[in-house]
Structure 1
Amino acid sequence: MTNTLNIDSVCVYCGSSFGNGEKFTEQATRLGELLHKNGWRLVYGGGTTGLMGTIAKATMGPNCDGNVLGIIPDALVSKEMTEDSKNKIDNLNEDLKKSVENHHGSSPISSEYGRTVIVSDMHTRKRLMADESNAFVAMPGGFGTLEEIMECITWSQLGIHSKPIVLFNMDGFYDSLLQFIENSIQCGFISATNGNIIQVATTAEEVIEKLQSYIVPEGRFALDWSINCQGEHELNGN
């Protein structure tokens, strides 16, 4: 089965830190440049520090004519905004301006990073990021990045979506995770076909190639997620 999805909006999960070494920043910048060149929208976690800020700025391009959607919970905005950055919120709607007016922190939000949407909680953030994207990429990051991309992989396995998923394994960052997946396949906890849900790229150019050539693997669960639950009272026999 081939992938006929028209990719134009890519969700990228990554760290709000830069990591050790310039290689991470360089590759994040290159991927953002390619997203900008292709005219694809970046959907990301809304931060402006570390690899998050790096890929957002690169995707916007030198003339700030790119397409970037950042989605960030209100609690994190309060941590990541400086006094100086208040003057840089020049492209956000009035409701968003009001919601960030009284925040303080260490990271600016401005037109350099595209459009920012503030939500109430992490669950809403993750749902919107998934809904607004037709492909997923994981760059290096920490606990949050791993949790987010593994959830997307699980959703694909369960048949909730059929969107491409690519691990950007720059400088072998995800080697240990890939070893875990291979071990899980060998031990019978993941099928070999479901192992193909994840494609692996080692360069920014290869990320784009893997997204464009993605084939949805056979053998995923064909579950019906359109059924509405009647409520907890039925589980209790009421």
Structure 2
Amino acid sequence: MHEFMELSLNSFLFFANPQFQLSPPHGKVSRNIDLVYGGGSVGLMGLVSRAVYNGGRHVIGVIPKTLMPREITGETVGEVKAVADMHQRKAEMARQSDAFIALPGGYGTLEELLEVIAWAQLGIHDKPVGLLNVDGYYNSLLSFIDKAVEEEFISPTARHIIVLAPTPKELLDKLEEYSPQHEKVVPKTKWEMEQLSYCKSCEIPPGLKEGKPVVIQAQRGAML
């Protein structure tokens, strides 16, 4: 039996498509939480950031300099951090947040969502990952994940890394009660130690050292 882990969820990282518009019934939720997001001022990103900021909470937007002309129009709120690229953006957003929430979105949202899920499975972090399934938007993705569990590419416990709910209030309640149940590939402390030592103990495969191609094979049912 897994007990609930007491979380201090003060800062949430939101993944979303800037063009997605959240309808009023789904958008009304009030919590004393800070916001970390992709830094845009248009569409859903702008709506959420203004709502949190007007509620007296701290807002941090992290955005690559190249995307600023496209995703920032007019007034921005809170703190805006300009970074060099997408890798730095994601690393900084993850560092600043206590939990992750994905709203309906496209390729970018999916990439960010699946990455933080993979990080949780690997043991890089133990933060809850929430999926706001508005009007069943993510049902097809969830069916795909269930198929991967059935085919033994994803373990049943790792399936529960995703915290799912159709409304913001229900999702936030579940995130605050989240307790990891999956077996981490590597302990979190090991990742932290490796980062501090810059992975000095990591060995490069001989083929890579010699500049030769390395073939990676995966069997049906293999756990990656």
Query: When the two structures are superposed, what TM-score results if normalisation uses the length of structure 2?
Result: 0.82
Letter in 2 for 1:55: V
SS at match of 2:63: strand
Unaligned stretches of 5+ residues in structure 2:
211-224
Residue-by-residue CA offset, 1:105-127 (whole Å, 9 max, x unaligned): xx1233xx322111111111100
> Matches of residues 1-238 of structure 1 in structure 2 within 5 Å?
1=2, 2-19=4-21, 24-26=22-24, 29-31=27-29, 34=30, 38-61=31-54, 65-81=56-72, 107-110=73-76, 113-223=77-187, 224-225=190-191, 226-227=193-194, 228-230=198-200, 236=209
SS at match of 2:28: helix
- What is the Cα deviation at residue 184 of structure 1? 0.5
Rounded to whole Å, the distance in 2 between the matches of 1:109 and 1:119 is 19
Residue-by-residue CA offset, 1:105-158 (whole Å, 9 max, x unaligned): xx1233xx3221111111111000000001000000111000001000000000
What RMSD, in angstroms, separates the aligned Cα atoms of the two structures? 2.1
Count the aligned residue pairs. Answer: 199
Which structure shows the bigger proportion of residues in helix conformation? 1
Rounded to whole Å, the distance in 2 between the matches of 1:119 and 1:28 is 31
Percent identity, aligned pairs only?
38
Rounded to whole Å, the distance in 2 between the matches of 1:131 and 1:207 is 21
SS at match of 1:4: coil
Unaligned stretches of 5+ residues in structure 1:
82-106
Higher deviation after alignment, 216-225 or 38-47 = 216-225
